[in-house]
A and B are shown apart, each in its own frame.
Chain A
Amino acid sequence: MYGLIHRAVRQMATDRLGAEQWRVLSRAADVHDDDMISAKVYSDETTMRLIGAVSAELDVPMEDMLEQFGQYWVRFAGESAYAPMLDLAGSNLLDCLFNLDRLHSGIKLTLPDAELPSFSVLDHGRGYVNVRYSSVRVGLEPFVKGLLAGLLARFDLVGSVVAIGPSDLGIVFHVVFES
């Protein structure tokens, strides 16, 4: 994954544990300053080792940690230099979900090595939307669940996200919210 993900993990850990604790755990995880270059690709193993270290330090199961990081990522992106891009995607949940793939195609121009997931809105109605997530990566469903929850929060919606099982092309998430 690109180093920009590492920076978000670091920020989340620093927010919750403090800078000194982050320094200790990152060194223990063999992650250093030169693993924080946003435009550089690192192995997924490095990324997961980093998240695992934060998970262990916070005593949060890895699955929950990934979900929490998914939520954090949306907030982080919305408050960082990536905010204009996220704004571009839309001003409501449905627009944003519809536009994610196109957003990713633009991102891919600059980060050609990014293995970006695909999101398809399967159907939607008053207070719900079903989204299909597909990716070459496996095991990141909790992260995606967190992302979708993060988007709910971004658009001031109260709701929940559940994975309703795999489809032919990916995992379908059912997002419900008070409309």
Chain B
Amino acid sequence: MALSLNFNVLGRLYPAYLVTDYDFRIRSVGPSITRAFPDVAAGDILWDHFTAERPIGQFDVTRLLKTREQVWLLGLHGLKLRGVIVDQADELFFLVNYAPASLRSDAGYQLQMWDFSPADATLDALIAVEVQKALIAETQDLLKELSAARDAAEASQAETEDYYSAVIRTLWTPAQGIGGAGRLVESAAGIEPGGTVEDFVQKSGDEVYTIMDDLLRDAEARRDARRTTLDPLATIAEAALSRETLFRAKGVAFQFDVDGTGGQLCLGDAQALRGVVISMLEHGLERTDRGWVKLHAVVVPDGPLLRLRVECMDTGDPAAPPQGDAGAAAAIAAGGHLERFTLAGVGVKTEFQVAYTRAKAVARGTAAHRHAEMAVAVSDGARAPRPATAPDQPLRLLVVCANLIDRRLIEALLAPPKVALVVAESDSEAMSLWRDEPFDAAFLDLQALDCDGLTTARKMRDVERDAARLPAPIVIMSHQVVLDHLDVEATAHVNAFLTKPISPTDLTDILASVVGRAV
């Protein structure tokens, strides 16, 4: 007997469904949608707009139906639902199988297991992602704990050294009597406590030297034991963030020598793991001869391109950079486009000539503590500095996006006079522009008409390398669902990611962070 797909059957197979007519007027909703959105009712027109992974017309049903899986935006609630669309006579069936985690804090929007089709593997993927997020969060916590323990141990060590140095002064300053470790010496030497310094010195004789030496040796042994306990930080971090684990977590992939003398690390799309990476790298910090710059080398395993994370510390040195984000950036730039640094701790111990392309200082901790992240390239000869747009001139941005809605949104949000947009709809058009003109940054849609954004990014880097141009920041735009599943290695050319649907705040924040100036 054939299965008759009535609403009762549909509700059991796909409880989170929506049915609309071709005008997007809701005709009926499944039980899960009713539970999650009790105010949704038949007859309502709730969809302000929808979008899909492929650029299609906003309300063009014919083109819409060419894409099986899509993301719909519920305008009234700002809710994003992902699912499969099915055309049935004059109706559209939208079978929901994903709601972003960010919405789950609102109980009203929470989809649960029952809301998924039993045959839908999306649920397993969703759970796996949640586990990965939790593991990453816990790993970050662990690294923070270990860093704090290390700091505490170092502080304790300093106190211990101060203490023993005070003890020695006390011991050999008779006017101050015997105290602290002196009592230990008394005990070790079998001297009756409570005597005078003179008694103590007389009775202990030369033995006091031996005992003091033993005490100090013990102290050093305890200090070394603490260090032994804490030094495995890198080992622990390596185990916790092993390449295999992180690939599963779609995070950072890296290999890192425990002794810090070499290794490679690919940041990839590790936005969520930035804190982890910083913690890792702090293990291998070394101050340079400039006095205010600390370098962390992050070697992307792709030809000569390096991505460096640089930390600037104000140390009171007259050569230190001025305060403030722009100041730090300016100071770095003033230091020359070509600087010579010794990379140590992380990366290979080799001198590189690095050329700054941008420096975005992000306040972290205190106003005097600036953190900068920049892309650099290993010098293989003279390189033409990338022409930086003067601060009083609009930023030149290349936007490669075939989606009309996104394009209009970006144009509306990044209007003159601060930004001059050049828009390309295709990879070929973008590459032509990129070859001919300098840009301060590029925003690439992951899904362009004739090429995906990652491929375009790689080609842009090739152009920069061939032309001896310094790399400009590249930002990839896509839905979080897609970004979550990008291959880490494939994102080596990308500086940042912008999640769609695009929000004004995210757009301007990311732009400011990659170009190093407010927009």
Contacts and interface: CB of A to CB of B under 8 A. Distances in A.
Nearest to A83: B134
B114 interface: yes
B135 to A, nearest CB: 5
A36 interface: yes
Interface in B102-151: 104, 110-114, 123-128, 130-135, 137-139, 142, 145-146, 149
B112 A110 contact: no
Contacts of B128: 106-107, 109-110
A66 to B, nearest CB: 22
Nearest to A37: B240
Given A90-B113, A110-B131, A40 B240 contact: yes
Contact of B131 (A32, A99, A107): A107
A4 B114 contact: no
A164 B245 CA distance: 40
A16 interface: no
A90 B114 contact: yes
B135 A88 contact: no
B112 A88 contact: yes
Nearest to B240: A37
B236 A37 contact: yes
B232 to A, nearest CB: 6
Nearest to B139: A38
B451 interface: no
Given A106-B127, A110-B128, A37 B114 contact: no
Interface string A1-19: 0001001000000000000
Contacts of B232: 33-34
Given A33-B146, A103-B113, A88 B127 contact: yes
Contact of B138 (A81, A102, A109): A81
A34 B239 contact: yes
Given A82-B134, A87-B110, A110-B132, A40 B239 contact: yes
A38 B127 contact: no
A81 B114 contact: no
Interface string A85-121: 1011111000100010011011101110000000000
Contact of A110 (B111, B142, B236, B248): B248
Contacts of A80: 134, 138
B104 A33 contact: no
Given A106-B127, A107-B128, A38 B112 contact: no
B245 A106 contact: no
B235 interface: yes
B101 interface: yes
Given A37-B139, A38-B142, A111 B113 contact: no
A39 B240 contact: yes
A84 interface: yes
A82 B127 CA distance: 10
Interface string A21-44: 000000000001110111110000
A96 to B, nearest CB: 9
A99 B127 CA distance: 12
Nearest to B230: A33
Contacts of B133: 81, 84
Contacts of A105: 124, 127
Interface centre among B131, B137, B232, B236 (most CB of A within 10 A): B131
Given A82-B134, A109-B127, A37 B239 contact: yes
Contacts of B104: 84, 87
B132 A91 contact: no
Nearest to B248: A110
Nearest to A112: B248
Interface string B225-248: 000010010011001100001001
B138 A107 contact: no
B138 A7 contact: yes
Contact of A33 (B127, B139, B142): B142
A90 to B, nearest CB: 6
A102 B236 contact: no
Contacts of B135: 4, 38-39, 110
B113 to A, nearest CB: 4
A34 B113 contact: no
Contacts of B239: 34, 37, 40
Contacts of B127: 85, 88, 103, 105-107, 109
Nearest to A100: B113
A39 B245 contact: yes
B126 A34 contact: no
B236 A84 contact: no
A37 B142 contact: yes
Contact of A106 (B126, B134, B235): B126
Contacts of B229: 32-33
B146 A106 contact: no
A85 B131 contact: yes
A155 B240 CA distance: 34
Given A87-B104, A103-B127, A106-B131, A33 B138 contact: no
30 contacts: A4-B138, A7-B138, A32-B229, A33-B145, A33-B149, A34-B236, A36-B142, A37-B139, A37-B142, A37-B236, A38-B138, A39-B135, A39-B139, A39-B245, A40-B240, A82-B131, A84-B104, A84-B130, A88-B112, A89-B112, A95-B114, A99-B113, A99-B114, A106-B124, A106-B126, A106-B130, A106-B131, A107-B128, A109-B125, A110-B131
Which 6 residue pairs spanning A and B have beta carbons closest together?
A106-B127, A81-B134, A109-B128, A110-B131, A81-B137, A38-B138
